[in-house]
Every structure is written in C-alpha cells, then in structure tokens.
Structure 1
Amino acid sequence: MSQYLTVEDTDYVPAGVVLTLPLIIRASAIIDGRCKREIGVKSYNERIPLTNQRGHLSFYPVKDITEVKGRAAYGITGDNFFGAPGFVETDLSVLDVDKEIGSLTCGNSEFGAPYAEIEVTYTSGWDPIPDKVKVACGLIIAQLSANANTNVKLKKDVDSTIEYFGNNMITPEIADLLSEYQYCSFR
C-alpha cells in the first residue's frame, strides 16, 4: 500500500486542508492507478524475449538487478535435437542495462549460444518520492477533502438537480505532474 505523503507533509497541500492517513492512502492509490505502477521502489520479476540479444524491462528507472536466468536459443550441440534448454542461473555480467530507460543487451550463454529469453529479478522506482508526485498527491487530497461525496459536481436543492463528475479525479494539472512516472510498455 503506497503512501506518498505523511501527515507531517503539510507543504504539499493547500492551506486549510487537513492531512489524514485515509486521505493519503486514497490519493496514493489514485496515483498508482493513473500511473499503472507504484512510484516507490518495488521488486519485479519478469521474462523478457530477446531480439538480436536486446530487450526491455517493463519498469524503470532500474535500481538494481538481483538475479538473471537465461534460456539459450539452442542446445549445447548447436541444434534443437534435444530441444531448447530450460532457464539456468546466469552471471549478472552478461547483462548490460541502461537503468534510466530499462533497455538491455544480453551476451551469450557459457556455451556461446545467444539467449532467446531471460528472466530478470530487479528493483525499480524512485527513492525518495519525487516532489511532483507529492504535489499531485496533495492536490488529490484537497479534492477529496473538499467534498464529502467526491463524485458530486453540483447540487441544486430547488429542483433536486445533481450533476456528477466523471469517474476520474485526475485533472489536467495532476496528469501533467504524473506524466513522466506512468508505466509505458515497449512491447
């Protein structure tokens, strides 16, 4: 469960807004939903098909690669007579990763065959949480605390009219703040 602000982070919310843990958790969940990922550092494990010994990790920036397993394109004898070998532990030195964007290049197996697919365990995210995310969280909290029913846009008691917002708490300003932290698939 993400929490991008603490109750003491009053600098990130408009004056008069009281930070509470439930509001912080709701706003952080809305940010995670918008970005389709957690902003903080988290561990991931994924299989990556390689094309010309190149591939791409789904989540970046990459903090650390902890484990790599590879499946060679063909067997020890150079053909597929015995079928493709399974995943085997691989030395981390065969992997060259651009940690900012998650692209990777993989060397050959210990028998000289290129890898067809690798399985990578790694950590990705931002530490500390960027100020833009904290500001976005504060703006969402201000929206949540301003209205008890967060989906109501306008209430008129005279003719019993109620207008509702869409199901999105993300304003264009908040979307702009979060744009560089969204999950972006390269596959």
Structure 2
Amino acid sequence: MSYLDASEYSQYGLDPAVPDVWVEMASTMIDAHCKRPSLEQTQYVERVRVLPGARTVRLSYLPLAQVVSTRGRFSQARRGEMADVAAVFGIPGTWTAMDTSSLDTFAETGEVNVISTMLGFTFDELEITYTAGWAQVPDAVKHACAQIVRNAVATPALNVKTSKIDTMRVDYFRDSLLDESVRELLAPYVAQKVG
C-alpha cells in the first residue's frame, strides 16, 4: 500500500522518476511508526477492560468509523452487588452479544459508552470489532511520505548498517529517514494504547 500515487509525486516535491518501491518503503515505515497496519480504514478486534464504575472505554485506533460487533463479559459480583441474583441466572464470566445500535460512540476520541443490563449487571470486559482509519489519506501523511523518500534519496548510504538488494531491506543506525519534521507530521496518526 502506497500513500502517494505516481501521479502525485511532483505535487509533493518528488521527481516523477523515483521508483515506486521507495514510496512503498516510506509508506511501510509510516505504518510502523504509527503502530498500525494501515492508516486507511481497517478492521480491528480489541478487548478492553471496563474499570469498576466506568461508563466509557477507549479504543486504540482512530478515527472510529464503525462498530461492527460487540460482546461483553459480565463481571463477578462485587461486595454489595446482587451476587445471588447474578448466580441464579448463571451469568458471571459469560460472554453476551450486544446490540451495536445501542452503543454511544465518539469517532474522534474512540470512546464507547458502556451499557449495563436492565438488572444493573455490569460488564467486566468488552470485545469490540470495529473499523477505524481514514477514507482518504490525509495530506500530512502524504507530505511525510514524500519527505521520507527525499531523505532516502538524498543520503541512501548514510548510516547504513546492512543492506540487501533482493528483498529491499535496509537497516540504519539512526532514524535519519524519520526526522523530526516527519515525526511532527505523523504525531496525530500514531495509535495510542489506553490502559
């Protein structure tokens, strides 16, 4: 997956003769730096713990496009809760499918409101299958991709530790390709694991 199309090379300051593999390499570096498989809309499955008394959980990958499915696991009853009623129904520790249309979600923050049952049982853990990412590659990511390619073309042998031509692998001692300007451009797109 390339974040720049060949028709966009000159628009972002690249020579149109730059090999496509350089742009693909830069795109792969962006994905690795952002800690996600792609910045495009991708489906994820994430298990999140629900803290006692919490009403929301936060997902790692943004922006949240759609919640596909959700299931929750009921917690063991805590002191003062209806432990006997929950034990009668045999629900502590079991997974239950949830209606995704009843969830209140916030795309920009990745927050999902946690619901409880009519009897007041709460979920201890949620497994949420969702789609997150951008429908169109943001302009800042395209600029970052072009900058990485320019950095690689300008100093291809600088700080090279090992190199393999047949597999397009280059290991560097320093992060000279992802310089500070690239990191600033990509900062809003790095996935944040919230604990």
Secondary structure, counterpart of 2:6 in structure 1: coil
The TM-score normalised by the length of structure 1 is 0.82
1:7–1:80: structure 2 CA closer, same or farther, 3 Å change rule? Answer: same
1:132–1:77: structure 2 CA closer, same or farther, 3 Å change rule? Answer: same
Contact 2:10 2:16 in 1 (8 A): no
Q: Match of 1:141?
A: 149
Shift of 1:147: 3.4
Contact 1:95 1:106 in 2 (8 A): yes
Contact 2:151 2:176 in 1 (8 A): no
The TM-score normalised by the length of structure 2 is 0.79
**Number of matched pairs:** 175
The Cα RMSD (Å) is 2.4
Q: Any idea what the Cα deviations from partners look like across 1:29-79, whole Å, max 9, x if unmatched?
A: 111121112211110001111122321111111001110111122489534
The whole-number CA distance in structure 1 between the counterparts of 2:11 and 2:148 is 11
Secondary structure, counterpart of 1:78 in structure 2: helix
* Residue 127 (structure 2) pairs with residue 125 (structure 1): no
The whole-number CA distance in structure 2 between the counterparts of 1:47 and 1:110 is 23
The whole-number CA distance in structure 1 between the counterparts of 2:186 and 2:62 is 15
Q: Which 5+ residue runs of structure 1 have no aligned equivalent?
A: 153-163
1:12–1:35: structure 2 CA closer, same or farther, 3 Å change rule? Answer: farther
Contact 1:41 1:124 in 2 (8 A): yes
Aligned ranges for residues 75-114 of structure 1 at < 5 Å? 78-80=85-87, 82=90, 84-109=92-117, 111-114=119-122
The whole-number CA distance in structure 2 between the counterparts of 1:59 and 1:35 is 10
Shift of 1:150: 4.9
Aligned ranges for residues 1-187 of structure 1 at < 5 Å? 2-14=1-13, 16=15, 18-37=17-36, 38-51=38-51, 52-74=54-76, 78-80=85-87, 82=90, 84-109=92-117, 111-151=119-159, 166-187=174-195
Shift of 1:93: 3.0
The whole-number CA distance in structure 1 between the counterparts of 2:70 and 2:31 is 27
